[in-house]
A and B are shown apart, each in its own frame.
Chain A
């Protein structure tokens, strides 16, 4: 066994840890610090959701699915518009019942989409260079972005989950002014947690989950013991589509359904680099680290930088994730939980 070179990773961890508690040491009130952290965690959960879609597909087929962001947008558009149209079509009451039915229909749409992608894009390209597959998903991205607008329209649409937008104040007795949290974020967090738990059980405990892991491990061997590759691919893309739908719903409810949702995929990229391309726990933890890191650095580091260097403003939120990912690529390219590939010579 070669000894692991963990030094740089530990150093990076220590720096991040110090950076994390630095605001407290600098005398920021604990209540405010917790509020920012909590806000970061909730944003992080949403990053994790998008990253999860990447990881699922990468694990099962080795394809880096650039279209995950487009799938989030497409699913969110389908959900928002169907929820809007359904009351007129079938006389179902608007609001939650319409949203629930729209969710079921949108799930169906994502499954059909998965089948089409497998049949039209993946199957003809099987055994091709990974770059060819990446380019193919790039094509799917642009197609879905455009086609989504063709069907569903290109305005900003609302998804109303029936949760009040008013923030809630908790722990008022402990901290002066309490801690402000948004109910919507809280619901999103619970939804994400349930989804992740469900996926974990599905992957670990069911025959289909086992087949998925087998395909991810060695797809030729999987095929020769009778696991049908094509069906497995449809299943992962459908599951990734479902994850995209859930991500689209919570992001859409928060920000409105609009083209910028597709850009979220780019945020998921540093998340998977951090967590490891093949690890579901990695995607989740990576999302949380980036969510919190962004918020902390934006709120606390920003003003310090502005003062010290006489800069114009913040914007740390926009680059923090990428710089962190870059550092990780240098010290631990396989990510926190990714599989390290050791080729025997």
Chain B
């Protein structure tokens, strides 16, 4: 068992409802995320998992309910502000900058931390150059951490899928987020790649103390690495608790295995 050092609630989702026209994607969902924990959201296809993440990082604005982040109620914040306030994320369908190198992709994640003005950068002034070097050093650290040194200059579009997922993670990590949202980080991976990714997720959680909210299909993975699990089905919450509790919850078993009525 890893030593756990879980803090107070950092993200509190309260009675969120989201609908698109007549389709109710999320209905009255509440759960909280504590600092430094690994929190999983699971559920069958179409359960509303990605919609939930999209609400947290401001892609969607729920019609009802509120999200409290670090003690502050956020309403209608956009993705850019979410990133600025320390919420990083990766994507289910990779959204990397395919034409750019691994290094450049991860550097863009660092852009938020860069403060010199555009004019200083354009003129290549000392402070801008020094900043670039400083941030580059941090990014190299991320690249080492994710073990993709050999691909530093490779355009992302040419890399194998499993490694692209790693670059996506690296880009989010470069911004040093407090809360990292991972949308199916292991989808489409083989066993070995999944094990690597699990190791990275746990290392990030341990070394940087980053709070992690992840969506995952692979139940084995979820049960192994999560501290607590939320279960969604058809936009409703049907379970919440430690992996052991959730695993034995009859509602959850019914949703996953199907039970004759």
Contact A228 B132 (CB under 8 A): no
Contact of A221 among B95, B107, B132, B135 (CB under 8 A): B95
Q: Is A165 an interface residue (CB 8 A)?
A: no
Q: In this complex, what residue of A is CB-closest to B135?
A: A207
Contact B128 A226 (CB under 8 A): no
Given contacts A207-B111, A226-B111, are A213 and B97 in contact (CB under 8 A)?
A: yes
Contact A208 B109 (CB under 8 A): no
Q: Which of B173-231 contact A (CB under 8 A)?
A: 175
Contact A210 B95 (CB under 8 A): no
Q: Is A269 an interface residue (CB 8 A)?
A: no
Contact B83 A225 (CB under 8 A): yes
**Alpha-carbon gap, A213 to B98, bound state (A):** 11
Max chain A Cβ within 10 angstroms of own Cβ: one of B88, B112, B122, B132 = B122
**Alpha-carbon gap, A297 to B25, bound state (A):** 64
Contact B84 A226 (CB under 8 A): yes
**A339: which B residues are within 8 A, CB to CB?**
99
Q: Is A329 an interface residue (CB 8 A)?
A: no
Max chain A Cβ within 10 angstroms of own Cβ: one of B95, B132, B135 = B95
- Our count of residue pairs bridging A and B at CB distance below 8 angstroms stands at 91
**Alpha-carbon gap, A225 to B167, bound state (A):** 13
Contact B84 A225 (CB under 8 A): no
**A155: which B residues are within 8 A, CB to CB?**
none
Contact B100 A235 (CB under 8 A): no
Q: How far is the CB of A289 from chain B (nearest CB, A)?
A: 24
**Alpha-carbon gap, A86 to B52, bound state (A):** 59
Q: In this complex, what residue of A is CB-closest to B108?
A: A214
Q: How far is the CB of A277 from chain B (nearest CB, A)?
A: 14
**Alpha-carbon gap, A206 to B122, bound state (A):** 7
Contact of A224 among B79, B99, B105, B110 (CB under 8 A): B79
Q: Is A201 an interface residue (CB 8 A)?
A: yes
Contact of A205 among B99, B100, B110, B124 (CB under 8 A): B124
**Alpha-carbon gap, A225 to B97, bound state (A):** 12
Query: How many chain-B residues does the 8 Å CB contact rule pick out?
Result: 38
**B175: which A residues are within 8 A, CB to CB?**
225-226
Q: Is B57 an interface residue (CB 8 A)?
A: yes
**B80: which A residues are within 8 A, CB to CB?**
223-224, 226-229
Given contacts A217-B97, A225-B88, are A210 and B107 in contact (CB under 8 A)?
A: yes
Q: Mark B44-64, 1 if CB is under 8 A from A, else 0.
A: 000000000000010100000
Q: How far is the CB of B167 from chain A (nearest CB, A)?
A: 12
Query: How many chain-A residues does the 8 Å CB contact rule pick out?
Result: 26
**Alpha-carbon gap, A121 to B252, bound state (A):** 50
Q: Mark B70-91, 1 if CB is under 8 A from A, else 0.
A: 0000000011101110001101
Q: Is B96 an interface residue (CB 8 A)?
A: yes
Q: In this complex, what residue of A is CB-closest to B128?
A: A206
Contact A206 B89 (CB under 8 A): no
Q: How far is the CB of A342 from chain B (nearest CB, A)?
A: 10
**Alpha-carbon gap, A122 to B128, bound state (A):** 30
**Alpha-carbon gap, A339 to B88, bound state (A):** 29
Q: Is A218 an interface residue (CB 8 A)?
A: yes
Q: In this complex, what residue of B is CB-closest to A207?
A: B114
Contact A224 B100 (CB under 8 A): no
Given contacts A207-B114, A214-B100, are A225 and B171 in contact (CB under 8 A)?
A: yes
Contact A208 B122 (CB under 8 A): yes
Contact B107 A207 (CB under 8 A): yes
**Alpha-carbon gap, A211 to B57, bound state (A):** 20
**B171: which A residues are within 8 A, CB to CB?**
225
Q: Is B257 an interface residue (CB 8 A)?
A: no
Contact A226 B112 (CB under 8 A): yes
Q: Is A318 an interface residue (CB 8 A)?
A: no
**Alpha-carbon gap, A281 to B135, bound state (A):** 28
**B98: which A residues are within 8 A, CB to CB?**
217-218
Q: Mark B2-41, 1 if CB is under 8 A from A, else 0.
A: 0000000000000000000000000000000000000000
Q: In this complex, what residue of A is CB-closest to B112?
A: A226
Contact of A201 among B57, B78, B124 (CB under 8 A): B124
Q: Is A222 an interface residue (CB 8 A)?
A: yes
Q: Is A142 an interface residue (CB 8 A)?
A: no
**Alpha-carbon gap, A207 to B127, bound state (A):** 12
**B122: which A residues are within 8 A, CB to CB?**
198, 202, 206, 208
Q: Can you list 20 pairs linking A and B with CB atoms under 8 Å apart?
A: A208-B118, A208-B122, A209-B121, A210-B107, A211-B108, A211-B111, A213-B100, A213-B104, A217-B100, A218-B95, A221-B91, A221-B96, A222-B97, A224-B59, A225-B83, A225-B111, A225-B172, A225-B175, A226-B175, A229-B80
Sorted nearest first, the 10 A-B pairs with minimum C-beta distance are: A226-B83, A221-B95, A217-B97, A206-B121, A224-B79, A226-B112, A207-B114, A214-B108, A208-B118, A214-B97
Give the interface of B toward A (CB within 8 A).
57, 59, 78-80, 82-84, 88-89, 91, 95-100, 104-105, 107-112, 114, 116, 118, 121-122, 124, 128, 131-132, 135, 171-172, 175
Known: A207-B135, A218-B95, A226-B175. 14 other contacts (CB 8 A): A205-B124, A206-B132, A207-B116, A213-B97, A218-B96, A220-B95, A223-B79, A223-B80, A225-B88, A226-B80, A226-B83, A226-B84, A235-B118, A339-B99
